[in-house]
Amino acid sequence: MNQSAVPDVSPATLEVVPLGGVGEFGMNMMAVSWEDTTLLIDAGVMFPDPDQLGVDLIIPDLAYVEARGNKVKALVLTHGHEDHIGAVPHVLPLFDGPVYGTAMTLALVQPKLDEHGIDATDRLKTVKPRDTVTVGPFTVEFVRVTHSMPDCVALVITTPAGVMIHTGDFKIDQTPIDGEHFDLHRLAELGAQGVLALFADSTNIDRRGFTGPEIEVIDAFEELFTSTEGKLVVALFSSSIYRMQVLVDLAAQFDRKVAFVGRSIVQNAEIAQKLGYLRIPSGVQIRDADVQNYASQDVLCLATGSQGEPQAALSRIAIDDHRWVTLGPDDIVVLSARAIPGNEKKIARVMSHVARRGADVVTENTKHVHVSGHGSAEELKLVLSLVRPRYFVPIHGEYRQLSQHARIAKRVMSGSEPKLQVLLAENGDVIQFDQRGARIAGKAPTGRVLIDVTRVGEVGDEVLRDRRHLAGDGVVVAVVAINRQTGALVGEPELVARGFVVGEGEADSLFKDAGGVIAECIDSSGVEERGDQGLMTEKLRVELRRFFKKRSGRRPLVLPVLMEI
């Protein structure tokens, strides 16, 4: 994208452009500009739909950021969830300035940078609530909010046009587990002084009342700890540090050992312990490898896989394919997370596998084992009435949530003078504030870039059709026929390659050996695994990628197609 594609900001105009997270869930990112300074807020990812084969992450199209060039001065992060920090490694190379975030947020960003070989230690600047930093004409103040993880902040950005507030993700938890309360006092002060614009989370606007506090799950879990005669396996998001603390405390109370099972949950628990956000009493934690050395009734496993991800710990445990953790008839598996829309089938499949092991499954539909991290309607109304903005822009939600938040905001502010103006924006809308007021003044380039683990992405869904920008490694489609009853391989697998270049005469032997890898993978899988098409597809994809990397040094996109006959 060349510089002329995005018009320069005219003098004395504040320009705000949502690049993701408005009209959709995930991929949150926003650019705030005044003259020659652009400030980025968050850089998140979205997870792919099941039919987006070979795609691991979706990030915002960064053409607008590239077009602003050296005018981009800093990136400010509200908190450490993937939909707010997952794209940081892709954004960092596009500008030279600092990245501001709280200790927990930056600690979660660091491993991502390490994975991408980015050394940005000197650019990561830790801030605390009530701290302020200056970026060109902007002063950014960090205000504590409560959410489903520690160290979350809203942003108060003082600009030459006035004060804008970006809430980040929040709920108003009056009994926070870490004792750190939502700084409602500061929001009220700012509201009294005058706020130009409020950009607020709309995720749960369609839920009435108030969202429950994190401690609300304790009663249900106490009941489970009391009644479970075997192992207790709780699947949760690896960033749910507060939920981990609740469960660790209950484990200590009921004399159970705690094992963290799954790479991301082990990593996040270590980070949280190091920073003092997760406190595990001495002698309570054990390694997953030690689980088999204890009686089932003495163990609690905290595992990844609450969304039914095929390679996550719970999925492996459910099909009896985990190295250390198995399930038996007295065990209970708890899904302590909401089902992200689109994941229902995968979750149901895992629950069926758990049932085959004889274990019981508990979800938020049967017991109160999960509370949301986002404020419901009454909390969103409270923030509006405290801030009393001149302009309101709902963010973080699909268009129906944004629209409902807009209606409720008008109701809350019906008696205000001057009358509240709501700007219902979508990704790419150029929102301008100046002396004449506020308006949506045009469209900036936006879109999606689909990323697979080769760390090469392409703008838009074309990546699934021809992967033009992945010509270096290409694509290999493996068509595999399996017997519907036994799951056994039928005939020879057929491999078709496009854009995957190997030496002359090597292709035949390479694809013949790849067929052997497929046959071996299927033969070594259990009957239950073979009957699970989603699981076998993912298993074949992983094995073939590993094989092609080892034999050819390349990482083609591998698309296994399983046909039952």
Task: Let me know: does 325 contact 359? Beta carbons within 8 Å.
Answer: no
Rounded Cα gap, residues 502 and 552, in angstroms: 7
Structure letter (DSSP) for residue 376: B
- The strand ranges marked E within 136-226 are 138-145, 152-159, 162-166, 195-201
The catalytic residue among 374, 429, 452, 473 is 374
**Distance of alpha carbon 123 from its chain centroid, rounded?**
23
Q: List Cα–Cα distances, 243 to 193, 234, 235, in angstroms.
A: 37, 10, 11
Question: By three-state DSSP, how is residue 109 classified?
Answer: helix
Rounded Cα gap, residues 204 and 171, in angstroms: 9
Question: By three-state DSSP, how is residue 335 classified?
Answer: strand
Find the length of the chain: 565
Rounded Cα gap, residues 94 and 478, in angstroms: 37
Identify whether 201 is a catalytic site residue.
yes
Rounded Cα gap, residues 390 and 375, in angstroms: 22
- CA proximity to 68, closest of 8, 28, 136, 21: 8
Place of tokens 């001057």: 418
Rounded Cα gap, residues 201 and 25, in angstroms: 11
What residues contact residue 62 under an 8 Å CB cut-off, 6+ apart?
19, 90, 91, 94, 449
The catalytic residue among 42, 151, 183, 201 is 201
Task: Let me know: does 529 contact 319? Beta carbons within 8 Å.
Answer: yes
Buried b (16+ CB within 10 A) or exposed e, 8-32: ebeeebbbbbbbbbbbbbbbbbbbb
State the number of CA atoms in the 13 A half-sphere of 33 facing the CB. 27
List the catalytic residues: 201, 374
